Structure 1
Amino acid sequence: MKTRQLGKGGPQVGAVGLGCMSFAGFYGETDLATSHDTLDAAREYGVDFLDTALIYGMGKSEEVIGSYLKANPNHGFKIATKGGIETQPTRHFNNSEASLRRALESSLKRLGVDYVDLYYIHRREAERPIEEVTETLAKFIKEGKIGGIGYSEIAPSSLRRAHAVHPVMAVQSEYSLWTRQPEMGMIQTCAELGVAFVPFSPVARGMFADAFPDPADFAETDFRKKQPRFMEENFAANCKILERFQDFCTSRGWSPAGTAIAWTLDQGSHIIPIPGTRTRAHLEQLVEGDAIEFTDEDRAEIKRILPIGWAHGDRYSDAQIVGVERYC
């Protein structure tokens, strides 16, 4: 696999990373053996950048990764995790130094490491100046606990404020052929400042799979169950449009998932998508994206089939979008 730099001065990592939220069962049941097999496959394919978070199963995803790292000390993975969300007494955001330190220390313990390559603020606490939060993260760098600073789902203006205090390594936001808001400033700001842009859900939460997911089969715990794009009549409309994209991919001999990954990579050399999966078979399709090369004709056809703004319904419910900085 080709590599890309994780932010200016950061490490080289595989162009396609692996989001590990699925290891915590957000999209259905999984087990330790299957998750470990997926991590084995990642190493085989050159996928060496893992993305997890404290909130994923309240540490379950980190524990799965930690058990793998312990059994495979020469794993070669670069690890990113996240903090800043607390769940007691109710879900809220806390970016204070004391809270972030507790969260980071607990993440390191579950992962079985004393250092992570990248630490994100999962959601920004709006009342606390981002300059203060960045100073806290800079302390963690000096203490040798993290390699770089990251933020998730912030606005370009917030990135500029943080970056003025200490260089930011990466910004993570949802970005795919059906979620395009980062094109309204974040992708450009990251490129200008030398910050990696890390798209999560680049295969649209399973919509770019060979077969569409069936919302009727979603478990009560499935993250998608309350998302408007997976509710009728939006879901039927989205499937109808995506059938044309599937036909295009078939005509080129590509999988829809691989094509979706290739499209994100094609949007900038500083972009490192982190698709999530819990199986080896799906990972095989995702890494195909690194090998796909588009012609101008391909780009034009994708744009015709899936023009910006084509998706029906919001990407999050009103409850899920709390904490996301909406800058346009």
Structure 2
Amino acid sequence: MVSAIGIGAMSFSNFYGETNESESHRLMSTALDQGVTHIDTANVYGGGVSETVIGTFLAKQGARRNDLFSIASKVGIAKDPETGKRYFDNSPAYLIAELDKTLARLQLDSIDLYYIHRRDAQTSIEDVTETLVELVKSGKIKSFGFSEIAPASLRRADAIHHVAAVQSEYSLSVRSPEMGLVQTTKELGTALVAFSPVGRSLLTDNPLTLDAISGMEWLRQNPRFIEPNYSANIKAGINFRNLAADMGLSAAGLAIAWLIHKGEHIIPIPGTRSVAHFLELCEGANVSLSDTDMRIIEDTLPIGWAHGDRYSTQQWVGPEIYC
């Protein structure tokens, strides 16, 4: 069991703007004060920076360091050291070697959840699942999952061994998981961990400005943050922000509350560098929404409201498209 929301620790690297260790440590302390017990990272976030920052925080906690967070990390995205080109590797040798590096950075003997970040087309999902089962038997991981896979792939993996979690982008601006993934994870008893639950800021009271986006390499190439889509999305979100205010909530809090109410097995993992924004996100975990509230929210931002694809052509390399 984990808290209703977790922390997406990509924000502990400089992916969405400059940050530092003390800022990330302050956020983790606030999370513990708020009862947030799940944290999600990956070996590629800042080239290991995110994992290292979590590790240094845990090292300061003394004897209770192993009992504070349920920690998840991800593996499978590799980079050619000569060309810098990204590729995917799900081979046993790579997964085992990277896990050892992850544990060293986290300063832990084991982690609760280990995801395949992206599927390697050369390695069947059955084979990679068998490798993950062996890692569970070794005691270095307690469970495993997959990121951005199709429902059909989940069923193939589940036939080998229970899959603890599937991570997917899911929010009021990305509803595609409702076309099979929400249902399949629920049926199989698999947690659906929702990243980018506030639409990379579009579902907040203060969406990122074009000026801020210009300094973010990944986001400035994303179709939803390129004109004219950007302005159209900002305009489309006005009624949602007004609705949240009428309900006495921040827009981010309402977006989180909506997602939590979509299923008991759904766990949003918002990421932020700001303690104030994190507290807005946490308020969503304490909100009770009625069926009428849910209908009004979905009428305000109906399926398909967002302008532009959620990924560019290059960004779509890796995630499994199933609908």
TM-score grouping bracket, smaller chain normalisation = over 0.9
1: CA distance between counterparts of 2:213 and 2:206?
15
Q: Which runs of 5+ in 2 are unaligned?
A: none
Is this contact kept in 1: 2:204–2:241, CA < 8 A?
Answer: no
Q: Within the alignment, does 1:79 sit opposite 2:71 as a pair?
A: yes
Match of 1:117 among 94, 112, 119: 112
Of 15, 22, 30, 1:26 maps to: 15
Give the counterpart of 1:325 among 311, 320, 323: 320
**Greater mean deviation of Cα atoms: 293-302 or 15-24:** 293-302
SS across alignment from 1:202? coil
Deviation at 1:208, TM superposition (A): 1.9
1:144-198 residue CA offsets vs partner (Å, 9 max, x unmatched): 0001011000000000000100110000000000001110000100000000000
Tell me if 1:302 matches 2:294.
Answer: no
Task: Check conservation: 1:265, 1:272, Cα contact below 8 A.
Answer: yes
User: Comparing 293-302 with 91-100, which one deviates more in the overlay?
Assistant: 293-302
Unmatched segments (≥5 aa) in structure 1? 1-11
Q: CA–CA distance in 2 between the matches of 1:211 and 1:144?
A: 43
Is 1:204 equivalent to 2:193 in the alignment?
no
Q: Which residue of 2 aligns with 1:56?
A: 45
The higher-RCO structure (CA 8 Å, 6+ apart) is: 1
Deviation (angstroms), 1:297: 2.3
Instruction: Tell me whether 1:185 sits opposite 2:177 in the alignment.
Output: no
Q: In the alignment, is residue 253 of structure 1 matched against residue 242 of structure 2?
A: no
Cα distance in 1, alignment partners of residues 288 and 218 from structure 2:
32
Q: Is the 8 A contact 1:178 1:311 kept in 2?
A: yes
Q: Shift of residue 218 of structure 1? A: 2.4
Task: Choose the corresponding residue for 2:125, options 130, 134, 146.
Answer: 130
Find the aligned partners of 1:121 and 1:139 in 2 and give their Cα distance.
Answer: 14
Counterpart mapping for 1:205-244 below 5 A: 205-244=200-239
Describe the SS at the equivalent of 1:326.
coil
TM-score, length-normalised on structure 2?
0.96
Maintained 8 Å contact 1:241/1:305? no
Structure 2: which amino acid aligns with 1:98?
A: A
* Number of residue pairs the alignment of both structures matches: 317
Among 33, 44, 47, which residue is 2:33 paired with? 44
Q: Is structure 2 residue 268 aligned with structure 1 residue 276?
A: no
Once the 2 structures are TM-superposed, how far is the Cα of residue 293 of structure 1 from its aligned partner? 1.1
Structure 1 residue 298, shift from structure 2 partner: 1.4
Q: How much does 1:209 deviate? A: 2.0
Q: Aligned-residue CA RMSD in angstroms?
A: 1.0
Q: Deviations over 1:85-144 (max 9, x none)?
A: 101142000000001111111101100001000000000012211000000000000000
Q: Which whole-Å CA distance do the structure 2 matches of 1:126 and 1:137 have between them?
A: 17
Q: Kindly provide the CA deviation profile for residues 52-93 of structure 1, in whole angstroms up to 9, marking residues without a partner as x.
A: 000101100001101101011324111000001101142000
Cα contact 1:23–1:60 (8 A) shared by 2: yes
Paired residue secondary structure (2:320): coil
- Displacement after TM superposition at 1:47 (Å): 0.6
